[in-house]
């Protein structure tokens, strides 16, 4: 190096940690929560019969969870190492004095019970759904008769737990795993026998707001979690003075049985889902429709493959389920030796069955198929959530504690959306699928 007399370098043995890049966002969000009275609501409405927490209250731990969700740190250990030098300043933003230890947070999450969790969820629904949004800005789609619908996606994601091999010997006590309370053997789509935890989430598709998260051990209870998601959707609509008939819920084939369909119809919402079975193809009405030319034909995106669509009309799938509209899609079977990933292969055709309650005059068969395939955008939101927050990070080895952390993640996500909407004041985008089809006038006969 070339020495330069005009440059002086001063060093000090005192550590001066740099301020985390995410600290500015914590300042903004904490001030917003204070202005809206949410910090006071945390202190007064959420109670917990707790163990050894010293002088701490639930609000201290909510501040940590919100900060952890905003930080993007991979582990709680990394988060505490970054925030420790600024502990008093961090807690002062939330009106508190002392930063809890990481072990104290762990004991708090382990002590969270169901009433505490549901109280936190209630505040999430009351203050996160409508804040910063209006009846016009929440979006929607309009059918060919001008009726408005709000699209909601409900689906379950599964997180596999990595487990080390434990020694088994008669001289040793029985092995006990920490994740036994939150995980169970389940199926993740790759191989069976893994220990997993299922998280069912509900998303408002137009604003990308999270409406709820509900978790369970193993593959979970999809019927019970669907019922909770429908309750959250009804709560969301009520905040905007909308009725359940406005909601259009999209689901995958897991919810394509008569039990789940009956739940959705009883809730008063519309649905679009893939049928779980294919027995409906044997129905005489469907056989009659399939024997005639298709209602419409479409080409797959990025492919020349033609898919034929048949509107099977309204059918009663089961004695206790009201009539639903059945749509059948079919395409040519692949060459011998190639596996069919989706659908049922019968002869030279591969069939797919879709169930909906959308009216025929408002949605053509191709509209319904486009709506169902639009669930791909929901997968993109899940991928963005994994990058920004990764709510499947393990914060607690208890069911309620882990679910509390995941609700906090969704709250931070919704806060970012509402604050961004208020700052940018972006106009609502409108997309026209296609112009309404008009009936071709018939030629008059003399």
At 189 the pLDDT is 59
Which pLDDT tens digit goes with each residue over 246-288?
999 999 988 999 999 999 999 999 999 999 889 999 999 999 9
pLDDT tens digit sequence for 383-417? 999 888 889 888 999 999 999 999 999 999 999 99
Q: Are 263 and 223 spatial neighbours (Cβ–Cβ below 8 Å)?
A: yes
More confident residue, 437 or 99: 99
How far, in Å, are 57, 114, 295, 396 from residue 47 at the CA level? 9, 11, 58, 19
Q: Which backbone phi and psi does 393 adopt, to 5 degrees?
A: -60, 140
Look up residue 236 and give its DSSP letter. Answer: H
Q: Residue 439: which pLDDT band, with cuts at 50, 70 and 90?
A: low
pLDDT over 90, % of the chain: 60
Does 444 have pLDDT greater than 60? no
% of the chain exceeding 70 in pLDDT:
92
What is the average pLDDT score of the chain?
87
Which pLDDT value is given to residue 430? Answer: 59
Give the model's pLDDT for residue 436.
Answer: 57
- For residue 374, the tally of other CB atoms under 10 A from its CB is 15
pTM (2 d.p.): 0.88
Angstrom distance (rounded) from CA 227 to CA 264: 8
State pLDDT tens for residues 146-155. Answer: 999 999 999 9
């Amino acid at each position: 190096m070339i020495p330069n007399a005009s440059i002086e370098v001063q060093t000090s043995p005192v550590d001066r940690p740099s301020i985390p890049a995410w600290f500015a966002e914590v300042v903004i969000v904490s001030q917003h929560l204070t202005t809206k009275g949410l910090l006071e609501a945390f202190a007064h409405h959420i109670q917990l019969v707790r163990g050894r927490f010293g002088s701490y209250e639930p609000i201290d731990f909510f501040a940590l969870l919100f900060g952890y969700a905003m930080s993007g740190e991979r582990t709680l250990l990394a988060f505490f190492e970054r925030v420790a030098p600024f502990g008093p300043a961090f807690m002062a933003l939330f009106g508190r004095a002392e930063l809890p230890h990481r072990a104290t947070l762990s004991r708090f999450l382990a002590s969270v019970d169901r009433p505490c969790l549901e109280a936190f969820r209630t505040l999430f629904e009351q203050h996160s759904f409508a804040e910063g949004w209006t009846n016009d800005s929440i979006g929607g789609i309009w059918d060919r008769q001008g009726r408005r619908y709000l699209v909601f996606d409900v689906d379950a994601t599964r997180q596999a737990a990595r487990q080390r091999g434990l020694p088994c010997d008669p001289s040793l006590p029985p092995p006990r795993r920490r994740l036994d309370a939150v995980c169970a053997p389940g199926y993740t789509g790759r191989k069976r026998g893994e220990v997993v935890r299922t998280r069912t989430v509900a998303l408002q598709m137009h604003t990308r707001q999270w409406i709820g998260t509900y978790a369970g051990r193993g593959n979970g209870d999809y019927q019970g979690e669907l019922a909770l998601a429908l309750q959250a959707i009804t709560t969301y609509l009520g905040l905007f003075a909308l009725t359940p008939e406005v909601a259009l819920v999209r689901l995958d084939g897991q919810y394509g049985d008569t039990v789940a369909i009956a739940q959705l119809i009883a809730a008063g919402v519309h649905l679009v889902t893939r049928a779980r079975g294919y027995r409906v193809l044997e129905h005489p009405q469907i056989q009659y429709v399939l024997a005639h030319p298709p209602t419409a034909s479409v080409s797959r995106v990025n492919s020349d493959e033609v898919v034929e669509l048949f509107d099977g009309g309204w059918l009663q799938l089961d004695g206790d389920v009201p009539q639903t509209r059945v749509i059948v899609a079919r395409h040519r079977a692949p060459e011998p030796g190639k596996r069919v990933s989706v659908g049922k292969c019968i002869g030279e055709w591969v069939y797919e069955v879709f169930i909906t309650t959308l009216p025929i005059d408002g949605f053509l068969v191709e509209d319904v198929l486009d709506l169902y395939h639009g669930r791909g955008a929901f997968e993109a939101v899940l991928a963005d959530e994994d990058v920004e927050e990764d709510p499947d990070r393990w914060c607690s080895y208890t069911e309620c504690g882990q679910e509390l952390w995941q609700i906090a993640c969704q709250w931070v996500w919704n806060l970012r959306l509402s604050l961004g909407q208020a700052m940018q004041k972006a106009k609502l985008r409108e997309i026209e699928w296609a112009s309404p089809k008009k009936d071709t006038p018939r030629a008059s006969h003399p």
